[in-house]
Structure 1
Amino acid sequence: MEEQRKQALDFMTNVLNRYSESYNEGFDENVYSWTSIALCIIFILLILLSNALLIRKNARELDFYARPKNQIILSLAIGDIFLALFPLIVLTMTFFGDDQHNWKSCSLAMTSDTYMRFLLHFVYGLGLVILAIELLCRNKIRDMTADKTGKIFVSIVLSAIPWLLGLIFVLPLCLANIDMTTCLSVQTKRQAKAAVVISVILPACAAVAMCIVVSCRAFPPAQYQQTTATSAPIVTITTSHSNSPLQSGNGFTAPPTDGYHPGNQYPQQPLPGQHPLQQYPQQMNNPQAHVAEQPSVTQQPSVTQQPSVTQQPSVTQQPYTVVQPNKSVYLQNDAGITVSKFHREKSRLLAVAIVFFLLVVPQAIYQLSYALNPTRTMMERRITATAIHDFVLWLMVIRSFVTPMIMYCYSEV
């Protein structure tokens, strides 16, 4: 009986050895380690460079601290920089042969892996959703408070929402039932799959869906007419070659330039510091300024009869208007939003959301369909299993370089 057991054990050992040789065939551990170290170093440098450029360009915009868009982009860039400075460095240490079986290195490895595979994607996807909502409601958010301190507070709160929700939902879900002394997870398959779906798939799908909704929206007319306290009054001056009086955006009517009127041989002189058109009486019966699409001409003083002059009600806090011959160009100051700016930002958000989805979701699909599938079929070769695992891993990491570069190229400054 003892000899039969020994023979059976020897047989199983030989089978496992042959399977191990076949499984590891073509796989060089040393080459794999040094290649992974090189990739880690390259991605660390690229992520730091791209996000530093994005932060620098974003910080040059006006009212940087008081604008929610800038604060949200800043928080997402800091999250990517933290990925380069923490999880990727820990991953590099593991390829150098760091011992992960003591409690300190085990907890460090589990925390960095949770941040890299789950928390960062949840925060980034939710941040894109908030950016899309902020784009649609920018003027309303800006007008919630008048003072700059209040605007800064609102911006900080909006940028902190993804991180707070991630700390509340993602970390407990991913780190629950993990023994830090043995570095073993006692999570059920259902718990592990729920962590992948909630942390990665749902935020990525929500970001793409929200950005598609925003891209299908036309430019909000209410925002086009929105005014700000930092804008100057409208000064729109157009003239014509006809005998009709000169009209301006403020409602002033200039006298005609042809003919002689003996009733007024000495035209009224303007007071010091007064505009020549303001010497005439003003009335409040023309609330809308008329813009004529004809070539501009220069009006010369002449001996004329004092005409009737109208003025619209005093208008303040309006965007700038510049009039060219046969063309009126509507410009908005930096606090508001224009048609071109709206289309540029929604295109940027949609591009970032699609790239984010394509680079992050494959890793989640791999986890759900293979790594967490109890009925999976083991791959015959280690090189195949490692190649698939590392491919989706580096796709996930390269996202922290690609999406900041897209935001950088679409920036306004």
Structure 2
Amino acid sequence: MDKALLSFVQSLRHHGIPVSANETIIALKACGLIGFEHRHQIKAALCATLAKSETHARQTADLFEAFFTTGAIRDNIDLPTLRTQQTSISNAFPVPIAQSELGQLLTSANPNLSLAIANAAQQVNTQEMTLFLQINRVSRQILIAMGDRALVREIAQLRNENSECDTAHHLEEKRQQLLQLITAFVGQQYQLFGKNSVSSLQFNRLQKQKLTTMEDHEQILLRTLILKVAKKLASQHSRKKKMHRKGQLDVKKTITSNIAYGGLPYKTHWKSTKKEKPKVHALCDVSGSIAKTSKFFLLFVHALQSVLPNVRSFVFTNHTTEVTNLFATTNSTEAIAMTVDKLSHGSTDYGQALLDYNDIAGHSVDHRTHVIILGDARNNYDSSNAEIWRTVYRKSLSTLWLNPEPRAQWNTGDSIIEQYAPYCSTLETCNSVNDMDRIFSRLLKHS
């Protein structure tokens, strides 16, 4: 039973519920004290010892019902649901005489199918399934591992002998019932261990996929992924710096702390300066030419603003509008929809947008400010006002320009990125979540 509980813990972790080694030990001890025959008490004990919130408790309870109904078959736990299925296989027909090992197992009075299926399932690694379409193939592999080929040969031989036709029919019926039981077990294994692997595969693909090729139905997964990246960046941003034994000696503290040692400097203290937290100004072009990319960048900025202090958000086409308060008080879906619907009209004018930004927030740009622009710098042949960007560059901690277009398209047509390039601390192509993660990680690492 301990093995089953350990597998159950593995299933919880697979579904995103964090369970430590110490919590697992406590759960095992609690179940041992209760007694494994008390199903409802065991369920309550596992929810109490393994779940850290009400949401996790509900998930744990649901997974318990799923796991200890069909999933527990591999550990030979004879639950009522499984017993009923096994009895139907044994008693559906009169017991014929079988020669193959699997045939004998199916026709015995008390078939130990649980252990047989469990052993075969371990051979084919059912817990490594990643796709729903694998269920039927894995079920067949388990049946083969249990000795199905010998049983099929026996059934074929019996059918060639007219006198044994009924026995062949009985064995084939029981074989089909066994396959149904195995398929149900494998399906449950997929729900317990394989379902989230699909999300993992999708997440890996979405991280690398170009935002310009992203479909609308992928936005739900992308929101989860972007929030995950934003939280990682927030953790990186707030991580305490290690103290180093170097710098200027703090004489007063050193003398005071060493009075007990006769004034000898056994313990030294060094002067330290308080590191000021950086500020972030994020500007996003929401014009039609990069509408799809800007939506995802706004989603990233919304997530970043929710987990990092000192973030101000702006959007522009031919004018700049601050949306910091909107992002702070409205969920991402509504905030982005309102932003794009109300503010994305008009042709892009980077020169006017920079003038507006300078009027709104130029006074607050200082040596702690990172200023970030997402835009293709396609200006419809209007004035660039690059001198404003030069002023921002000189006043700020850094200026980052993230261009969703490939470099081969820069400075072609009405693109004026070359006029802003000399005043960019960083100028890079940014067209995937991986790009955003990499660029912002580097930004916060050196801030």
Q: TM-score, normalised by structure 1?
A: 0.24
Structure having the larger proportion of residues in helix: 2
Q: TM-score, normalised by structure 2?
A: 0.23
